[in-house]
Amino acid sequence: MPDWEMIVVDNGPSDEIAEIVGRYRDDPRIRLVRQQNSRLIGGIAAAVEASSGRYLVPLDSDDMLTPAFCRRMAEVLERKPEIDVLSCDASVFRDGETHDLAGSFLRKRLGLEHRLTLADMIGEHDVIPYFAGFRREAWLAGGGYAPGTDLVEDIALYLRLIVAGRDVRVLPERLTRYRLRADSASRDPSAVEEFEDACERVYSEAALASGDPATLLLLDRRIRLFRYEQALRRARWAFVHDDVPGARTEARAAFAQQRTLRGAAVLVGVTVAPGALRVIRPLKLRLSRGASRLMARAAALRTRKPEEEDRQSSAR
């Protein structure tokens, strides 16, 4: 699909970025905007202002789109003018690895005919449409990425649009690739808790704005889930750093929020047999990573086989 434009915002500025974009100076579709660092929200705002297209696709610096992304998203948006925002699924891969892990980015599978609700966004198996194409008028009506919504600027915008009655949907095709960073939640619990606290704030604002009792009930359950996950994360962090009493305290707090088998197992482990748990945990991590790699290879083979059969049929 040749009809697109790319606005690169050098939100720094960085001579390296300017040099990279300069290699494409003969392609008028690619343009550079240079400005002082105004964080992600200011960078996206500058890109929107400089753009001219009917559809907007905000991208972070490490987002990856497949070659079919623009064509498929435009096909759906052109065919279904009632859709204001169209997201899609993503393949997940780890930082430093080239192969995709088995499974998709979305926790909940939805068809294109399903219009996203606040329940989809706030529920336990939430749908966060990370990659999306916005009709320009919908983006502007929703206020774009609003100041004060750092870390969850995209989620806050989806929630505002849904509350306002806008049509947000998900195309169940993996047209993007989502990077699992090595320096994310598992290494620093405070970072993911900051994100969860921001989610809680925008979820609460949207649920209260809707005034729907069922949505408010979902909000309460989601907040309890946040508290449960945070306590388990702190328990793991304390245990890794040889703070067994701290791990027990956090494990008890997690179990008080949600009485799950997982929470019970952690509580029993750090209370009754912390030594055994210290041996089992690294083994579990290695087995989990090995299983992920095997599943990814199997998924790649399943994808490759139909493609090879199609090529053979075409050759015949």
Amino acid at the residue 63: D
Domain termination residue (choose one: 180, 198, 231):
180
Task: Residue 166: give the domain boundaries.
Answer: 55-180
Same domain membership, residue 74 and residue 171: yes
103 lies in the same domain as 31: no
Same domain, 155 and 193: no
- pLDDT tens for residues 179-222? 877 665 445 667 788 989 999 999 999 999 999 999 999 999 99
pLDDT at 13 (0 to 100): 75
Say if residue 71 is in the same domain as residue 166: yes
The CA–CA distances, whole Å, from 89 to 81, 107, 118, 170, 173 equal 20, 10, 19, 7, 5
Task: Looking at the structure, tell me whether residues 33 and 131 fall in a common domain.
Answer: no
Asked whether residue 303 is domain-assigned, the answer is no
Are residues 103 and 9 both part of a single domain? no
Task: Indicate whether 231 belongs to any domain.
Answer: yes
- pLDDT tens, 226-239? 999 999 999 988 88
Inside any domain, residue 114? yes
Identify whether residues 12 and 106 lie together within a single domain: no
Q: Is the pLDDT of residue 8 over 60?
A: yes
Predicted confidence at residue 287, as pLDDT, reads 43
Residue 312 forms part of a structural domain = no
Predicted confidence at residue 114, as pLDDT, reads 94
Query: What pLDDT digit, counting tens, does each position of 84-105 carry?
Result: 999 999 988 887 777 787 667 8
- One domain, residues 102 and 18: no
pLDDT score for 192? 84
Q: What is the pTM of this model?
A: 0.81
User: Does 142 reside within a domain?
Assistant: yes
> How many structural domains compose the chain?
3
Are residues 47 and 59 located together in one domain of the fold? Answer: no
Average pLDDT of the segment spanning 256-271: 89
Last residue of a domain, one of 26, 53, 80: 53
**Res. 79 pLDDT band, cuts 50 70 90:** very high
